[in-house]
Amino acid sequence: MIKVYHKCGGCGKKTEFVNSGRFRVNANGNRVDVWLIYRCRKCKHSWNLTIYERTKPSSIPSEKYELFLENDPDLAETYGNDKEFLKKNNAEYKI
């Protein structure tokens, strides 16, 4: 698993953030946001990394959408190891 670092709003400094293995799905009208939740290793402050932002539900494969709702651990790990995903979220990481 790639280690991720981010400035923590709780600790006030850069700390390691850990993949919580949980997704947050927010459906708003005909747009959906999906995040993967990371937590500060020290204070558990959460940081949501964007997977989908204001996306039409029809453009998310329904099997994948189900996995988000089920907090599928394999999918969470896949994103946690996806460098493009981490870069897009301005995450600092070490392999």
| Chain positions contacting Zn ion, by CB under 5 A | 8, 10-11, 40, 42-43, 45
Q: Tell me whether residue 41 or residue 64 sits nearer to Zn ion (CB atom).
A: 41
Angstrom CA distances, 69 to 3, 16, 82, stand at 24, 26, 20
Kindly state the smallest distance separating residue 62's Cβ from Zn ion, in Å.
36
Q: Tell me whether residue 40 or residue 51 sits nearer to Zn ion (CB atom).
A: 40
Residue 9's Cβ-side half-sphere holds a number of Cα atoms within 13 Å equal to 6
Q: Tell me whether residue 2 or residue 11 sits nearer to Zn ion (CB atom).
A: 11
